[in-house]
Amino acid sequence: MIQAIGLTSNPRKELPPAVDDVSFEARAGRVTAVLGAPGAGKTTALKLMLELQQGRGITYFRGRPLHRIAHPSREVGVLLGEVPGHPARTVRSQLRMLCAAAGVPVRRADEVLEVVGLVSLRDERLGTLSRGMDRRLGLACALLSDPHTLVLDAPADALDAREGRWLHGILRAHAAQGGTVLFTTDDPREAARTADQVVTLEEGRLVADQEAADFARTRLRPRVAVRSPHAVRLSALLTKEARTAQRSVEVVREEGNRLSVYGSTCADVGETAFRHGILVHQLADETGDMGPVSTPSGEGDAPEAGESRQAEMLAANALPPLPPPIAVRQAPSPLRPLRYELRRAAGVGTGYLTAAAVLVTSAILSVLLARIGHTPQPRLLAAWPRELPLPPAALGAGLLGAIAFGEEFRHPALAADRGTVPRRLGLLAAKLLVASTTALMLAFLALGCDLEVLYLVYGRELTEVPSDWLSLGASWIGLVVGCAWAGVLAAGTFRSTTAGLTAVLAVPIVVVPLVQKALAGASVRTAAGFPWRLRELVLMQWPFGGGRYLAAGARVLAQPVGGALMLSLTALLCAYLLTTLRSRVR
């Protein structure tokens, strides 16, 4: 059951709020439609319910607000807009990635694909799907974790009649099993035909909350549908008799030989046709644009006849099957976020293309720097000209880190988790681990490619290992991994890939000059001998030459770039933790 109480969006400058004090209930076992013209506030109301937009009011899903539910995706299945997954990701890969996010077995992906009829398209790319197939995939994503509640925004938009009937059959089947279904539409016919309850919005305000039968009777315009080969003559006679009797009757000529008579009844129209000997092929009550809802036999109550016909159709046609329920949920595992992150990162070629571009760029820059000369050996091996803020490997690692949070912010199936999933520390740890592993591989591959290319072009002269390779290696690894982490933390904090990449570039462009200015003054004291004094403090010998490694780490942090990067990472981590605490205590 859904209870929406006082939903009100924030005002838009001088305009009124898109949604103003909307309250309604959607009960379990029933299909509820939110009806309204484009711009009436339907989508905004759903976003307020799912806590995706700032505003006032609260929504309870079976007695609990969404941010108080431990696993929102298991309670609410969401479909908002088109499926915005990566165009190069396959249908099956998309669902398997979401299986890892929701903590359900990967076989669940094949089960929902079979139900929505996408088994034959499971290896198709998302960018090649038609509108109808995209709707089916969106519904599969919503059903993936076997939720009790479905919240769908215009699910049948731009679908043909056959696709629309199939989709609403799935929704009816879900409600028949005790679930709650809420969808939006701007078509009164769709709402009256497929819903049990209709909530009508106009200009952001609730104007009606009715049973479907009451809605059809009070808010749709009843009429009499007539088909006759003498439609023009019959129209003139009906208009003349109405004028003589001073009755408000409107006759509208439709396509072919069809008439729509408003303000009259089947009995009156039939009597007029009989008196004048006019042959009639069809005579039926209709409600709005719903089509015939009663048998062509005299006068009757259109809404009640519509209910009986709908019941007969449902009895005659079996409801479509749903995916089997998930009887046993997987126990919480620390590896679940890691599995999700690995599927997200490896499911598309973005990471591979970025790595290839970084390696090629790094090799070309190293050759050009060697040809120009006057470049120190460490910068030559890293392909880091002084004119660039960061070497290609560090920029590539930062970019891959910045796009690590893209799926959680954009995908509708994770919309219900958008307030909690990106803020979970387990997911953050998984992203940092995958980002650091990717950055290390990129750092070693870039260094190896540069050495190999320099050897092929110039021989062994430029490929000698520097004597201080330990500290240089630590600096190199720390720089690349730090850039990757900065991208991850900034993207997670500000919910933007652009913000993540901006944070990576801000370290050498903004933070490093500030650190250099802070360290430019004359030092009265130095930290020389810090590792040895630390060893004396703990009264033990560092095993395996640990003092040397500690000294190398201290020298890395003493460098302006290392200190600036550490400062930036600390600030971003604190900001991330602050937003995490705020999301948990709200």
Q: What is the pLDDT of residues 406-465, one digit of tens each?
A: 767 666 556 555 444 455 678 888 899 999 999 999 999 999 999 999 999 988 887 877
156 pLDDT more than 50: yes
Read off the pLDDT band of 315 (50, 70, 90).
Answer: very low
> In the predicted model, what is the mean pLDDT of the chain?
81
218 pLDDT more than 60: yes
Please give the angle made by the CA atoms of 308, 311 and 317, to the nearest 5 degrees: 140
- pLDDT given at position 523: 53
Read off the pLDDT band of 182 (50, 70, 90).
Answer: very high
- pLDDT given at position 420: 44
User: In terms of pLDDT, which residue wins out, 421 or 561?
Assistant: 561
The answer to whether the CB of 41 falls within 8 A of the CB of 202 is no
- pLDDT given at position 539: 45
Read off the pLDDT band of 304 (50, 70, 90).
Answer: very low
Strands 22-26 and 258-262 turn out to be: unpaired
Read off the pLDDT band of 8 (50, 70, 90).
Answer: very high
- pLDDT given at position 296: 34
The alpha-helical segments, DSSP class H, found in 227-349 are: 231-244, 266-275, 302-316, 335-346
308 pLDDT more than 50: no
* Digit-coded pLDDT (tens) for 260-286: 888 888 999 999 999 999 999 999 887
567 pLDDT more than 80: no
How far, in Å, CA of 63 to CA of 59, rounded?
A: 9
How far, in Å, CA of 170 to CA of 164, rounded?
A: 10
The answer to whether the CB of 155 falls within 8 A of the CB of 183 is yes
Q: Of 24, 75, 39, nearest to 416 (Cα)?
A: 75
294 pLDDT more than 60: no
Q: How many C-beta atoms surround the C-beta of residue 47 within 10 A? A: 20
Sorted by where each starts, the structural domains of the chain and their CATH numbers stand as 2-213 (3.40.50.300), 222-287+292-316 (3.30.70), 337-585 (no CATH)
The answer to whether the CB of 559 falls within 8 A of the CB of 476 is no
% of the chain surpassing 90 pLDDT: 38
* Digit-coded pLDDT (tens) for 118-152: 999 999 998 898 888 988 998 999 999 899 999 99
Q: Which long-range contacts (CB under 8 A, 24 or more apart) does 302-306 make?
A: 302/216, 302/217, 302/222, 303/213, 303/214, 303/216, 303/217, 304/213, 306/192, 306/213, 306/216
Q: Highest mean pLDDT: which of 78-87, 331-340, 389-398?
A: 389-398
312 pLDDT more than 50: no
Token digits for 451? 């050495």
3-state secondary structure 442-455: HHHHHHHHHHHHHH
- pLDDT given at position 113: 94
Q: How many C-beta atoms surround the C-beta of residue 448 within 10 A? A: 12
356 pLDDT more than 90: yes
Please give the angle made by the CA atoms of 281, 309 and 278, to the nearest 5 degrees: 15
Q: Of 310, 276, 314, 274, nearest to 292 (Cα)?
A: 310
Average pLDDT over residues 365-376: 88
* Digit-coded pLDDT (tens) for 491-510: 888 878 888 888 888 877 87
388 pLDDT more than 80: yes
Read off the pLDDT band of 226 (50, 70, 90).
Answer: very high
- pLDDT given at position 531: 53
- pLDDT given at position 122: 92
- pLDDT given at position 221: 73
28 pLDDT more than 50: yes
Average pLDDT over residues 477-487: 87
Read off the pLDDT band of 565 (50, 70, 90).
Answer: low
- pLDDT given at position 215: 87
- pLDDT given at position 525: 56
Read off the pLDDT band of 305 (50, 70, 90).
Answer: very low
Sign of the alpha-carbon torsion through 89, 92, 93, 97: positive
Q: Highest mean pLDDT: which of 374-388, 440-454, 513-527, 545-559?
A: 440-454
Q: Which residues contact 520 (CB under 8 A, 6 or more apart)?
A: none
How is 129-145 classified by DSSP, letter by letter? --HHHHHHHHHHHHHTT
* Residues forming a β-bridge with 209: 199
Q: Of 185, 178, 5, 208, nearest to 79 (Cα)?
A: 185
Read off the pLDDT band of 316 (50, 70, 90).
Answer: very low
Q: Strand, coil or helix: what is 60?
A: strand
- pLDDT given at position 19: 93
% of the chain surpassing 70 pLDDT: 80
**pLDDT-wise least confident of 116-125, 165-174, 314-323:** 314-323
pTM of the model: 0.74
Longest CA pairwise span in the chain (Å): 117
